[in-house]
Amino acid sequence: HLLMAVWLGFIGSFGFVTNLLTVLVFWCFKSLRTPFHLYLGGIALSDLLVAALGSPFAVASAVGERWLFGRAVCVWYAFVNYFLSIVSIVTMATMSFSRYWVIIRPQSAPRLDTVYGACVVNALAWCYSFFWTIMPVLGWSRFTQVAAMTVCSLDWDHHTPLSKSYIPVAFLTCLFLPLGVIIFSVFKTTMHLRRVTFLYLVPNEVRAGRKTTRITLVMAGCWLVAWLPYACMALVIAAGGRVSPTVEVLATKFAKTSYIVNTIIYLVMEKE
């Protein structure tokens, strides 16, 4: 529990500082207020909110070796973490699809490649994520204590008809669908850029398109690596299997790395 508290404290502190700096950079420098950077800023904002609103409760409960804050805060904590995690992957999906559409069909949606268009798409991604996250609060499944009773999350082990119906829908709409959109968009964009390079030789446009595609792909890949152990654990539990408390805790804590990795990707891959 002490090691988990130290780990969560590091993740929370590092994630808060780096994502706050990222958001401030996007806000302060007008040259970065482009549609693509607005998507990155939206993801950084969601990671910042997770670090600020979730980490203190997780650290305190890890030190106390149990959830310390009651049922209402448990539901709020689980909602915030679940909601903002979905926001990240859904925003990556909308970012990759909008880049695909702008690059391949620039004349069909000119407003999509504007600051206003990016803001609207970002808002839709947050609304979509909110819809699927609020369902457990309203009674379609539920949030409860998990991971050795030290944190709260979706109750994968709640085998009522409502809960059993929500889990496959959640995986489809909040994991498989966004990942499918990302894979489709990245593949189609990459093929188009290769064809354009061969036929028309437009290096500046190609370089810009390749950069945004690479960043999207790396971010989605890192998000998937961070959350894949947790997703596998959840599927095992939902199917009626048993997972040891140690594995459950490790999978839950490892998923938290998704909140800090994006800022590292920005630093390495985005020279601006």
Q: Quote the mean pLDDT of the chain.
A: 86
Query: Which position has the token pair 């496959």?
Result: 168
Q: Please, which pLDDT band fits residue 147 given cuts at 50, 70 and 90? A: low
Q: Per-residue pLDDT tens for 161-205?
A: 888 899 999 999 999 999 999 999 888 888 887 776 655 545 555
Q: Considering only 15-19, 57-61, 178-182, 249-253, which range has the smallest mean pLDDT?
A: 249-253
Q: Spell out the long-range contacts of 224-233 with Cβ–Cβ below 8 A and sequence spacing 24 or more.
A: 224/179, 226/254, 226/255, 226/256, 226/257, 226/258, 226/261, 227/85, 227/255, 227/258, 229/254, 229/255, 230/254, 230/255, 231/171, 231/175, 233/156
pLDDT of residue 18: 92
Mean pLDDT over 109-127 rounds to: 86
Q: In the chain, what is the straight-line distance between the N-terminal and C-terminal CA atoms, in Å?
A: 40
pLDDT of residue 256: 85
| Distance from C-alpha of 216 to C-alpha of 214, rounded to nearest angstrom | 5
Q: Per-residue pLDDT tens for 20-60?
A: 999 998 888 888 888 888 999 999 999 999 999 988 888 88
Output Rg (C-alpha) for the chain, integer angstroms.
Answer: 19
Mean pLDDT over 200-227 rounds to: 75
CA dist 95 → 103, 112, 159 (Å): 12, 11, 35
| Distance from C-alpha of 102 to C-alpha of 239, rounded to nearest angstrom | 41
Residue 134 has pLDDT above 80, yes or no: yes
> Using an 8 Å Cβ cutoff, are 94 and 46 in contact?
no
Q: Per-residue pLDDT tens for 72-102?
A: 999 999 999 999 999 999 999 998 898 888 8
> Using an 8 Å Cβ cutoff, are 213 and 200 in contact?
no
What angle, rounded to 10 degrees, do the helices at 258-269 and 203-238 form? 170
Query: Which position has the token pair 């004349």?
Result: 107
| Distance from C-alpha of 136 to C-alpha of 120, rounded to nearest angstrom | 26
> Is residue 1 helix, strand or coil?
coil
- Evaluate whether the domain defined by 2-269 bears CATH number 1.20.1070.10: yes
Q: Where are the domains of the chain?
A: 2-269
What angle, rounded to 10 degrees, do the helices at 70-104 and 177-200 form? 20
Residue 225 has pLDDT above 80, yes or no: yes
CA dist 110 → 40, 98, 116, 117, 118 (Å): 20, 11, 11, 9, 11
Q: Please, which pLDDT band fits residue 127 given cuts at 50, 70 and 90? A: very high
